[in-house]
Amino acid sequence: MKEYELTVLIHPDLESDIEKPLEKVRDIIKSADGEIFKEDNWGKKKLAYMINKQDFAVYVYMDVKLPADAPLKISNTLNITEEVLRYLLVTVDEKGRAALAEAAKNAEASEAEEK
């Protein structure tokens, strides 16, 4: 199984009951034999341009592990899901993730030295 990052833009009218559309997205991932190991709700944000006559969307970020055939299944399903305005499913860049972790470690060390 390969690691992916999934960012989903959910219709802003569903913000008050965000759990239903999120459960639908989780079910799509699980039905494709995927596994969610991190989920982060970034909240309602203004879009750079209108999507389906909407200026805002609720952004939700997920780290997922998927088998080889799952990204296509998930993409096809999310394309026809009304609650989802847009989504982005990309593979994880291990070198980039390691560099971010190293930068965070260095920042933490420099803060400790200043104190």
**66, 74 Cβ separation under 8 angstroms:** yes
Domain ranges for the chain, please list them: 2-114
Rounded CA gap, 20 and 23, in Å?
5
pLDDT at 38: 92
pLDDT in tens, the chain (115 residues): 889 999 999 999 988 889 999 999 999 999 999 999 999 999 999 999 999 999 999 999 999 999 989 999 999 999 998 899 999 999 988 787 788 888 888 888 877 777 6
**5, 97 Cβ separation under 8 angstroms:** no
pTM of the model: 0.80
Helix (H) or strand (E) run with residue 115 in it: none
The superfamily in CATH containing domain 2-114 is Ribosomal protein S6/Translation elongation factor EF1B (3.30.70.60)
| Burial (0-12, 13-18, 19+ Cβ within 10 Å), 3 | middle
Place of tokens 């802003």: 12
DSSP 94: H
The candidate with the shortest Cα–Cα distance to 39, out of 12, 10, 14, is: 10
